């Protein structure tokens, strides 16, 4: 495995200006800059374009070629907007809510491996940390909903939190099936275990036929955890205006939006790492065609994980325009009576497979 990026990033992290560790800050900020760029420009643009094509429309077309600069214009608009705090809001919670939400959705990025040499912190409890830290987001949502002092916002916040807390259970058990296959909680180790010359055949999803159950369960539960359709009752427009961010405008709204796109990418990256090999190339080596070797390396690694993330984000957007929204009771029914028992069955089956078959 090439370590050229490692040397390069080491050199960058030792760079300092006037005794301040500037290089370290730059290295730490790179994934965040990537997410901010992706989320606020091409995430939003992609969502609008995809939804437009699915409804046989053109979507944004005015600003720039094919409307590519539309989001930049929107950002300028959001930056210029007046920061409105409504009179009867709880000022402190209203301001701190989006902040906690934003921090909470970015904390998990510390343990995401973006390549063989690029990982913020290779914790040996990485995966556990990534699914545990979501709890902070929940508190941010509650602060925003309560601070707005608006019944729609409070309903939205309570619904959202109830949904996230409930769906954490099938999601965590599904992830546990992956953990049993790998025998580790470190995200980097997870990816390395799925490396090999046969490309996608080494991914856990193709190593074990049972892995499809936890894979699908985690994908469904991750939709609910990020409040995406069909589980978007927290922001159901026809009932609740906009859910917990009804009262927010300008940059605070943008921050909430950014947090949502960040957590969408986060769950997509987690599912790619656990079941689809993270930064490993999916191409196999076929005879003299060394497709796997040609597409492996530090930069390719970042490319693959981002592509896999984008693939799942595309499916999330696709589902949004395909499936109708679930009712509250249907939502809880799916979680407790369908996903959780299936997750338990998958857990037991994976254990049996790991002990007796493999």
- What distances in angstroms separate CA 161 from CA 112, 164, 242, 302, 348, one per listed residue? 24, 5, 15, 32, 29
Are the C-beta atoms of residues 325 and 232 closer than 8 Å to each other?
A: yes
Q: What is the smallest separation between the CB atom of 147 and other proteins, expressed in angstroms? A: 9
Nearer to other proteins, 182 or 306 (CB): 182
Q: Which of 2, 23, 52, 128 binds other proteins (CB under 8 A)?
A: 128
Candidate segments 57-65, 157-165, 253-261, 287-295, binder of other proteins by CB under 8 A: 157-165
- DSSP class of residue 203? S
Candidate segments 64-72, 158-166, 223-231, 300-308, binder of other proteins by CB under 8 A: 158-166
Are the C-beta atoms of residues 284 and 61 closer than 8 Å to each other?
A: no
Residues 293 and 297: their CA atoms lie apart, in Å, by 8
Contacts (Cβ under 8 Å, ≥6 apart) of 57: none
Q: Which of 119, 153, 175, 185 binds other proteins (CB under 8 A)?
A: 185
Q: Which of 92, 294, 311, 344 binds other proteins (CB under 8 A)?
A: 92
Beta bridge partners of 113: 119
- The reply to whether 93 sits near other proteins by the rule CB under 8 A is yes
Nearer to other proteins, 42 or 129 (CB): 129
Candidate segments 41-49, 132-140, 285-293, 321-329, binder of other proteins by CB under 8 A: 132-140
Q: What string marks each residue from 39 to 78 as x (binds other proteins by CB under 8 A) or -?
A: ----------------------------------------
Number of Cα atoms under 13 Å in the Cβ half of residue 10: 6
Residue 19's Cβ-count burial label (10 Å; 0-12, 13-18, 19+) is exposed
| Other Cβ atoms closer than 10 A to 76 | 10
- The reply to whether 328 sits near other proteins by the rule CB under 8 A is no
Positions touching other proteins (CB under 8 A) are: 90, 92-93, 96, 100, 123-125, 128-129, 131-136, 138-139, 142-143, 146, 154, 158, 161, 165, 168, 184-186
């Amino acid at each position: 495995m090439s370590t050229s990026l490692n040397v390069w990033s080491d050199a960058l992290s030792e760079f300092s200006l006037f005794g301040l560790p500037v290089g370290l800050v730059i290295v730490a900020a790179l994934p965040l800059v990537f997410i901010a760029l992706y989320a606020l420009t091409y995430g939003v643009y992609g969502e609008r374009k995809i939804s437009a094509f699915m409804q046989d429309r053109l979507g944004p077309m005015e600003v720039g070629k094919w409307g590519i600069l539309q989001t930049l214009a929107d950002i300028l608009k959001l930056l210029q907007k007046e920061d409105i705090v409504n009179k009867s809001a709880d000022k402190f919670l209203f301001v701190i809510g989006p902040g906690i939400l934003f921090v909470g959705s970015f904390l998990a990025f510390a343990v995401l491996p973006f390549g063989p040499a690029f990982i913020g912190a290779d914790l040996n409890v990485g995966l556990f940390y990534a699914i545990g830290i979501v709890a902070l987001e929940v508190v941010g949502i509650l602060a925003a909903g309560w601070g707005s002092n608006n019944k729609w916002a409070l309903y939205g916040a309570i619904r959202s939190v109830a949904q996230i807390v409930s769906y954490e259970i099938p999601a965590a058990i599904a992830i546990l099936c992956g953990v049993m296959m790998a025998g580790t909680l470190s995200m980097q180790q997870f990816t390395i275990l799925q490396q090999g010359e046969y490309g996608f055949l080494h991914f856990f999803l193709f190593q074990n036929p049972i892995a499809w159950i936890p894979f699908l369960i985690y994908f469904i539960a991750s939709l609910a955890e990020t409040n995406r359709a069909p589980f978007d009752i927290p922001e159901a427009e026809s009932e609740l205006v906009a859910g917990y961010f009804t009262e927010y405008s300008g940059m605070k709204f943008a921050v909430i939006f950014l947090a949502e796109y960040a957590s969408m990418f986060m769950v997509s990256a987690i599912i790619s790492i656990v079941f689809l090999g993270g930064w490993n190339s999916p191409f196999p080596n076929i005879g003299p065609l060394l497709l796997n070797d040609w597409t492996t390396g530090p930069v390719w690694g970042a490319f693959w994980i981002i592509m896999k993330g984008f693939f799942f984000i595309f499916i999330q957007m696709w589902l949004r325009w395909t499936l109708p929204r679930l009712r509250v009771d249907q939502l809880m029914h799916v979680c407790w009576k369908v996903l959780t028992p299936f997750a338990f069955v998958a857990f037991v089956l994976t254990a049996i497979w790991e002990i007796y078959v493999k």
